[in-house]
Every structure is written in structure tokens, then in C-alpha cells.
Structure 1
């Protein structure tokens, strides 16, 4: 994945992340009313949410919109696509990408059209997986990066080319690999660290270290992990105790809190 702005081919489609930019969707329907648009959720099990879901916009008759996407990418979040396939074939593929399986029994919505999630998910694909997931898409481009990139101000243009390896077509409710799941889990954790950093003013890198430290100590439950981060803010120089005892994560955290409060660090 490249973070440089590459000329490449002119994008033919914008998959707009409407949940992140409802104002952009209104602008498409108003100022660019002649552009063909397709609600990605239409005809799927998410049909009832189609007006609030991603929108596939045909850019071929809207060069001004292409320029806007490049000049002000933060106002137009989503994916820019290059594909020689008919709209119906591209739509069918993009809709298959929406629902995935995790393990044997869990199904989930994959918001791959969100630039943050794209920055993790596609980075978790090897060339064969990428060939399968991109399918009829020859080139994919978006502005963004990871939550860590956002925290340090290093977001930029990302670009992926389809390796074009001979692979089977993407299945309905395709199963995610362990690495893809790991990348998405990291996305959630780094977003959580970014939110804490924004709310508290604590340096993101230090906050991420605190979060990782809490996970190492076994504080994996959301509320316990949050309480650990809050405790760390109060005792930034205290040393963790690796031999905590207790029947639950909450009990172990309370034990650590008492030790630090008593100055037994």
C-alpha cells in the first residue's frame, strides 16, 4: 500500500462513506444530481438502512466531483474505484463484501468503505486474498490511514492495485482470515486509544502503551480496561504488578488500585 499521491487511472466510481459524511451525500443528490447513484445496501439484508448506508457514485460524467474528492478528501470520505466491469457486476461484488463470517458461528458487517477500516483490512490481505476481495476492481484509492496515523498527523493517499491472480470469486459471507481479524481488532483498539487521547489530552503514543500494558495484565473487558486507563492517568509513574491475584479482572484491578493508593508501587 502506497501513501503517495499517484496519478494512476482516473477513478470511475466513488464509494462514499455516507455515515461519515451525510452532508456530502446531500451535495451529490443536489449539485451532482445527474450522476448515477446506487445505494449499496439496497436489495440486501440491510435494505431498511439504504438511505443511511454507503453510496456508489458514477464519476464518469462528473469530472468536477473527481476534482473535489482529490482537493478536499476529508469532506468526501470513501473509496475511489477503477473498474472496467459493468455497474451491475461491480455492485454485486461490493454487496458481497458487506457481510463476512468470523470463525464458525459469527456474522458481521464489514464497513470496508470507511477509510480507517480500509487502511487496516486491506493491509491484512496477502496477494491472493487481495485478488479475491478486489475482484472486478483494478485500482483502489482513498485518503486516510490508521488511527495511529491520524493521531500523529500522517494521513495521506493510499493506493492498492489488484494483483490479478487466478482465484475463486468472492463467496457470500466470505470468511475472514486470522490476520484480517487481527487487523480489524487492532483498528478497534487504536481507535479507542485515539478517543482517550483526544478526551484527556494525553500523548497518543503513551496512551497506546498504557492500553497495551493493560491488555498484558489481562484487563480485556471494556469497562475494566477503561478503568485501568483512568487509573494509569492518576498514577503515570507507578509500576504495574505482574502477580495480581483475584477471581476476576475487576478484583485484580481493585487490588492494583489499593497498592498504588497505599504507595506500594
Structure 2
């Protein structure tokens, strides 16, 4: 029977970090989440507990809140990573920020612990250059929303130990999700394909080919996608998608060059659901 680690640490308690902690909590682990300050930590704890309560109401876990809540530890002290078997970095998609975060976490990990990044596009080898033990490092790319998503990309770096990959695959299965294993490459498999579709949808909207609603309906009804590419971009965040597209354009060429409409909306602060406006109006959502 596959089992998750007893103790998991997550650096970053935003939407993705909170979702990762939530998933491991429901699978039986203790989860420690570290945020940059006390206000952010309090917000992260509330976010995770709300999600846990929703899972209980939906019947997706048989554990009561009285059992799950004490397993969650949220704070600002990086030293909690000294007591985990798995640490997952979930800070924004900025190489320098991730370098600083990964080095700080690794310095506190027990020697046998595993370090993972939730990066959706950055090279695992590029991230590993600051690490003392790159063989204990790999990518675990969870998808938003984490509790509902059935996929996790396991991304292997050049130095990643083969046994670690198999262990990570087992952990993903223990979460009730399916691992897809990919070699380190810009955008991996999912982001590269997803961004390609999303950028073309934005170009179509920019050119007046169809409305956002009709472009999305074409993919939902015609190709059985659970959500259209423009609505998904709103969910992910236009700023996040822009950053990934710029990175892929730099690494893979002009076919990933972001459309001007995307740049324009990000400059206006219309980032999708988190700001209330993107390709759709989310203010009443």
C-alpha cells in the first residue's frame, strides 16, 4: 500500500501551497506550512482549514476536522523543515526567489529528506545549481485546484536519483493522483502544451475570431476539455501565464511569444479570478 511521508513541509501558503498541504493532510500526513510573515501565515491557515472543511462536507475524507486540524502547523520559522521527510517549495515562478528559497530549505533538511519544487516551467537543473544534494531534488508539479486535480508531473533533473523518482511516484499515487514522469525541459509536458493552447486562444480573441465564451465552449464541447483555455488562464492568473510564456519564448523560440492582449491586461492589473477581472468578470463568482 502506497503511503505519503509522515511529515511534509511546504514553503509558501498561497493557492498552490495551501492546496498541496491540504492534499497531504487528507492522505494522513502532518503538514507544516511556512510563510513570509505572521499575517500571511494566519491567512494560509484559514485558507487550508476552509478547504479541509469543504472536503469533509463533500465526503471526500472520513477524518473529522478535530483529527485533521492538529496535524496542520503554519508559521514563519524555517527550522520546521528540520523535521520533515519531504519539503515542497511553492513560491512564485521567479528563478532568483526560488534559488533563495530552495537553498534555505535544504540547509535545514535532515540528510535523508527529499526536496521538491512545484515549479510549472522552470528547469529543475537550473534550480538545482544552488543545492548541495541535487540527487535528492526533483519537480512535483501539482495542478490547480490541487485537491480536485488528478495529475502530478514528476520532473527529473540530470542529477535526480532514480530511486527517488520511484518513491515520488508512489507518494503521488498515495494522494489518489496519477504521476506523469517527464525529463527536465522548458515547460515540461503540461505547461508547454497548456500554454500553447492558451496563447492561441488569446490570439483568436485579440483578432476577433470569436468571443471568449465561444472559444472556450469550442474546447469544452468539441474536445471535452473540462474548462476552456481562457477561463483556465483566468484561474491560473494572467500574470503567471505571461511569466511562463516569456520563459518559454526565451528558451524555445518565438512561437511562445505572448500576445499583446495578454501583456495589456496584466499591465492593467486584470489578472483573472484573483483580481476579479481577466477574460471574464469574476466579481460575483
Q: Could you tell me the TM-score, scaled by structure 2's length?
A: 0.29
Q: Report 1 or 2 for greater relative contact order, CA contacts < 8 Å, sequence distance ≥ 6.
A: 1
